[in-house]
Structure 1
Amino acid sequence: MSKGENTRKRIIAKSAELFNQKGYASSSLSDITELTGIKKGGIYRHFASKDEIAVEAYKYAGSIVSGKIHEALDRETTATGKLLVFLKVYENVVEAPPFIGGCPLLNLATESDDGDPVLRENARRGLDNTLELMKRIITEGVRSGEFKADLDVDALATFALSIMEGGIMLSKLDGDNRHVRSNIDSLTAYLKTVAAAS
């Protein structure tokens, strides 16, 4: 990897941490230069704007979280276990989130809502990808006979993602992991109600 590629990656990684903790709007180019030790001219050699850095930073943060989710998914053999992974990855969100600052999708979605169409579109793509992955897991659970045949796959995916993101938001705001953990218990109990009869 060339020196230029290394510099670009460093800017993206450090900016991802900054934006995910402090927020995009609250972060300045000066914050990025301070974190990376790279002057503004050096940053502009790699990126045309702060928006461009933000898009790449979000993709980077999302890829870190996605990697951790997929690692955990590979260890599960049931659809129930796989759906619970999405919450369990954030079980210690206050002290040890899968990416510093919490959930990149949640953070970007709340910050970019109607304010920045480019960032909002990236958050929307992240939402679609997460829901699609959850729907594939649920569909496989229906196919294998783990879940009831008439289960509304879309509704369950929306429900699971909503209680995941809601639990993360509450736990981060409250400084207490109990909200995510309570939602893990609640989703576990709900999934028992949609399990196919043995």
Structure 2
Amino acid sequence: MSKAEKTRQLIIEKTADVFNSKGYAATSLSDITKITGLTKGSIYGNFDDKEEVVIAAFKFNAKRLRDSMDAAISKEETAYEQLMAMLNFYKTTWKKAASQGGCPMLNAATEADDHLLFLRDAVKDNFIAWQKKVSTIIEKGKAEGSFKVHLQTETYAYTFIMLIEGGILLSRTLNQITHLNTALDRVKLIIDQEIVN
């Protein structure tokens, strides 16, 4: 890795948590220089503008979340166990995520929808990747014979994402994990009643 690549990576890693907790729009260039210890010239020597830093920091946050979830899922063998691992991942990591500013997917989606339109494609791509991950697990369950064959896989995957993200939103807003747990319990009920053979 070249010196420029190392500097670029340092900027991304140092700013990722701040962008997630303070907000992508609210985090200023002064915040970025303070966090990294670099000058404005160094920041703009590695990124064209703040928008490029925002996108890179979001992608870093989303990948970190995805890698952690994938690690939890990959420990399980069957499709059912993998879906349960995904639900358990959110149940067990909520407190830590809340202390670090919340779900990076939800945070970025809110800002991209309102005013940071340049961030929308990156956010959309990450939600689609999550949907594909869940869809792959459901398809695996069909192949195993443990899930019903005639399921609308993509619809169920997006339903799970909507419930989880909605639960996170209410739990963060009201500072009570109860709402996330309710959403996760609902996803489990859907899996048990509508998906499992």
What TM-score do you get using the length of structure 1 for normalisation?
A: 0.90
Structure 1 residue 64, shift from structure 2 partner: 0.8
Deviating more after overlay: 126-135 vs 168-177? 168-177
C-alpha distance in structure 2 between counterparts of 1:2 and 1:26, whole Å:
31
Q: Would you say 1:122 and 2:122 are equivalent positions?
A: yes
Q: Match for 1:150: what amino acid? A: H
Q: Which runs of 5+ in 1 are unaligned?
A: none
Q: Which runs of 5+ in 2 are unaligned?
A: none
Distance 1:177 1:64, change over 3 A: same
C-alpha distance in structure 2 between counterparts of 1:69 and 1:154, whole Å:
19
Preserved contact between residue 92 and residue 177 of structure 1 (Cα < 8 Å)? no
Q: Would you say 1:42 and 2:42 are equivalent positions?
A: yes
Q: Equivalent residues in 2 for 1:98-137 (5 A)? A: 100-113=100-113, 115-137=115-137
- Indicate the percent of aligned positions where both proteins have the same amino acid: 35
Q: Match for 2:96: what amino acid? A: A
Preserved contact between residue 106 and residue 165 of structure 2 (Cα < 8 Å)? yes
Q: Would you say 1:152 and 2:152 are equivalent positions?
A: yes
C-alpha distance in structure 1 between counterparts of 2:139 and 2:85, whole Å:
16
What TM-score do you get using the length of structure 2 for normalisation?
A: 0.91
Structure 1 residue 78, shift from structure 2 partner: 2.4
Count residues with an aligned counterpart: 197
RMSD over equivalenced CA pairs, Å? 1.9
C-alpha distance in structure 1 between counterparts of 2:130 and 2:81, whole Å:
16
Higher relative contact order, structure no. (Cα contacts within 8 Å, ≥ 6 residues apart)? 1
CA-to-partner distance for each residue in 1:5-59, whole Å, 9 max, x for gaps? 3322121012211111111111110011111111111111111100000111011
